[in-house]
Chains A and B, each alone.
Chain A
Amino acid sequence: MTELRIEKLTVRYGRGPSVHTAADEVSLTVPASQTLGLVGESGSGKSTVARAAAGLVSADSGTIKLGGKPLPRRGLRPVQMIFQDPRSSLDPRMSIGESIAECLPSRFSRSARRSEISRLLDMVHLDPTRRGARPPELSGGQLQRVAIARVLAARPAVVVADEITSALDVSVQGAVLNLVRELQTELGLSLLFISHNLAVVRYVASQVAVMRTGRILEAGPADQVFHRPQHSYTRQLLDAVPDTLRSTP
């Protein structure tokens, strides 16, 4: 797997007096085969960084390098993205099998495609015989699994996951998080995992960065950021997490 290095990334929206700097000299590194959790509130610029890392938003300045090389601009992209709302990220007119097939590299033959789609569906714990189902027939959690299978079809070097559980019920969230963790370790994925939920980030990420108003305030190993936060804002975020529900053993 490959390392994704973002250096001094600046992204601005709008022009003239209404210009808004969504990302302000952001530097981040997603280490090879590790998960970097990016934490922040809405409007902090997390999603802009995610979209820039995937090449969906062009940077005003700064560099994004994958294994030391700039991101390619055409063809199947090596940085793939999983979106927040699976109902919006899968074409409602296409069967889930077709959606996954779209991301398969072109070297697959027709018959190889079929078995590959089955393998991917199986990998995200969905019944391969449901390949013909259309998105409205599936639940939110199942659709998010399809979205994950589609991303894996592209054989990505890095996966960007942008708030992938916040549109799901808590009862489903756990299953998706388990899957993400399982696949990350199994396939050795490099993962940029974005969420406003600290408990969720803590569960999946080994490295954590905290973002606010377009800037990175603090970054480091998860253990350090969560237990010995340096920035007052990080402490504020940690204080706001609801108390533990389970009885302490």
Chain B
Amino acid sequence: MRLLTVLRTPMGVVASIILVLVLLTAIVAPLLWNDAAEARNTANLNSGPSAEHPLGTDVLGRDLLLRTLVATRLTVLLALGATGVALGLGILFGAAPVLLGHRAGRLAVSAVNIAVAFPGLLLALVLALILGVGELSAMWAIGIAGAPSFARLCQTLVASVAERDYIAAARLAGKSRFRILLRHVLPNIAEPLIVNATIAAGAALLAFAGLSFLGLGVQSPSYDWGRMMMEGLDRIYLNPIAALAPGVAVVIAGLAFNLMGEALARSLSTPRIPVAWGMRPRRPYPQKAEERGDGEPADHLAGPGHADSSEPAGPAAYPEAVLTLRDLRVSLPGHLGCLTPVRGISLRIAPGEAVGIVGESGSGKSLTALAAAQLVEEPLAVRAATLKFCGADLMLRPQSTRDRSRYQRLLGRSLAVVFQDPMTSFNPTMRIGAQLVEGMRFHDGVERSWAQARAVDRLGAVGIEEPERRAAMYPHEFSGGMRQRAMIAMGLMGDPQLIIADEPTTALDVTVQKQVLELLDEVRSASSVALMLISHDIAVVRQVCDRIAVMYGGRIVEELPADRLAEQAQHPYTRALIAAVPDMNTDLDEPLATIPGRPVDLSQRSAGCPFAPRCPLATQRCHEQDPALIPAGDSGGAHRVACWHPVVDAGRAALAEADRSAGEPASAEGSELS
């Protein structure tokens, strides 16, 4: 059970121990000492601490230590009872919109909104007076007073679950509202409710002590800690311990509930894989220059990816590339060892070149882009033999603040990043124009009026009509495609050498997608900006890019000029990807080609080629040795492939197709290759 993960944190352990002790006392103490705590001793009234009575005795000569211990049960029970009342009423009102439908539900929501406005403790006092003196009425009073905040919490939680499609599916299955609430809604909101109820129990305990102390709660001859404090108060100057001991008990028990709640909240909101935080520096400058180059990180799952740390391909005519990556690795230190989502990427992008990176989710393509843009944050760590952008070595740790700000200026001016969902990249409360201006002023310290004029100019340049009027609008007033244009305009505020676009069209419709891709292409040819386009859709990438790198399992498995993609792709994975996309000429009589099996699981990587388990051509060798990314045949180095059995000619391609349709892996080891 997920709640038990709380025991993995020190705070959780401490809280659990105290809570268990409190609950044990509540169960055991009355069984053992109930009579002894009631025993009167007229010879020893109101005595101070002594060997026989460590905390002294009360007005009737009863032992205060035993009474404090025995009172634990009533105190805790009443606090839990009040919490139960609050929770029950809260769920009832919170779930009203689901149970009663929209109109009646809205009424319940308004009622809760009004009730939340009253201060809880005041409400409890008033209710206690109305309901009459006594422990049960006090319990109801505190419970009812706590209900509005639970109802509000429930409403929020229920609303977030009610939008889920599985609720719609259950309605289509003809299930009643009550059943949907019990089976689908409550289990999915239970965790936050339990956390909050635990914290609320601590608060209820305190509130109850308060009411009893005022004489509104527990009445004689029953006693709880609050009542004991009231009784001890009369003689606070003679025997302070008589009032303080139950007070300390209230603090300990209240703290136990609160700490437990906090610990639960923390352990439930953190990811399930506990991560060793703080092992690496925040910025990706893990080593000093002279320590670098010895390649292997100390993780055992990295595999032999170093094989392709040779100079990356790319037009040799450009002496200085915009971006050079050599043996780039991104790793996630964890308690099961190091996971390495990106292992040994080497890539070079020349000025004005468009390079596409293609792969399915989990292939490491986005992380590669983020690492290149210096946007990877802890706990992920970036290492590379080379990571150069516009001639600057980004793996060098800047020594002074001046160096650091020089780096930031370089990145801010020369690198533009476009993300998949522009809605989350813009601040919803700021006008578009102001957001464009802000970045520019921060990096370059230019005049505001100049920057504003530039923002309008750039919005016009990305094809936004009436740029002046649009600059004064907020992000939500833009359509998805328009926001993506504005995002590109923001990148063009400086003087970018490279635009990194991470799935820039995935959230867009076909027609808008086409426009955005055309815009990226225009921008590139107009100002010879290099482009790194990341997508899961090989068709999208091919439209825009000169060169395509196909990623699988954190590695580049094939890199080739875009015009060779259709006919000369050699990696079985690349060919399978191409075959899997239906287009307007797909044969309707045949089933679509598929890639059997599942994408790589990072935690279960073997030594061999990552694609081997899904590959129709895989042999023993593929499962044992990871192939290096090496130049393919006749390409002169522009086409590289990492495969033991590349599909080189039409005959072989036909063989691969035949194998795939037969559904069985080729068994014969390709002896001509080994």
Contact = CB atoms under 8 A, between A and B. Distances in A.
Interface of A: 41-42, 51, 54-56, 74-77, 79-81, 83-85, 88-94, 99, 102-103, 139, 147, 150, 154, 169-175, 177-178, 181-182, 196-200, 202-203, 226, 236-248
A245 B513 contact: no
**Which of B565, B566, B584 has the most C-beta atoms of chain A within 10 angstroms of its own C-beta?**
B584
Contacts of B525: none
A221 B578 CA distance: 28
A195 B582 CA distance: 13
A245 B542 contact: yes
5 contacts: A81-B172, A139-B598, A199-B582, A246-B579, A248-B585
Contacts of A172: 360, 594
B510 A237 contact: yes
Interface in B316-331: none
Contacts of B175: 102
A244 B585 contact: yes
Given A42-B480, A175-B594, A240-B514, A88 B165 contact: yes
Interface stretch (B220-228, B396-404, B533-541): B533-541
B168 A242 contact: no
A51 B361 CA distance: 29
B173 interface: yes
The 7 closest A-B pairs by CB, nearest first: A41-B509, A89-B165, A174-B592, A242-B539, A83-B165, A169-B360, A240-B514
Contact of A203 (B169, B170, B510, B582): B582
A244 B667 CA distance: 33
B566 A103 contact: no
Given A77-B172, A170-B537, A246 B595 contact: no
Interface in B142-186: 164-166, 168-175, 183-184
Contacts of B172: 54-56, 76-77, 79-81, 103, 154
A171 B586 contact: no
B77 to A, nearest CB: 31
Contacts of B74: none
A170 B169 contact: no
Contact of A174 (B165, B173, B580, B599): B580
Contact of B511 (A79, A178, A237): A237
A238 B584 CA distance: 9
B115 interface: no
A245 B562 CA distance: 11
A170 B584 CA distance: 15
A243 to B, nearest CB: 7
A41 B514 CA distance: 13
A171 B594 contact: yes
B166 A90 contact: yes
A89 to B, nearest CB: 4
Nearest to B166: A91
Contacts of A89: 164-166, 168-169
A178 B586 contact: no
A54 B169 CA distance: 10
A237 B512 CA distance: 10
Contacts of B405: none
Given A169-B361, A202-B584, A103 B173 contact: yes
A187 B170 CA distance: 23
A170 B360 contact: yes
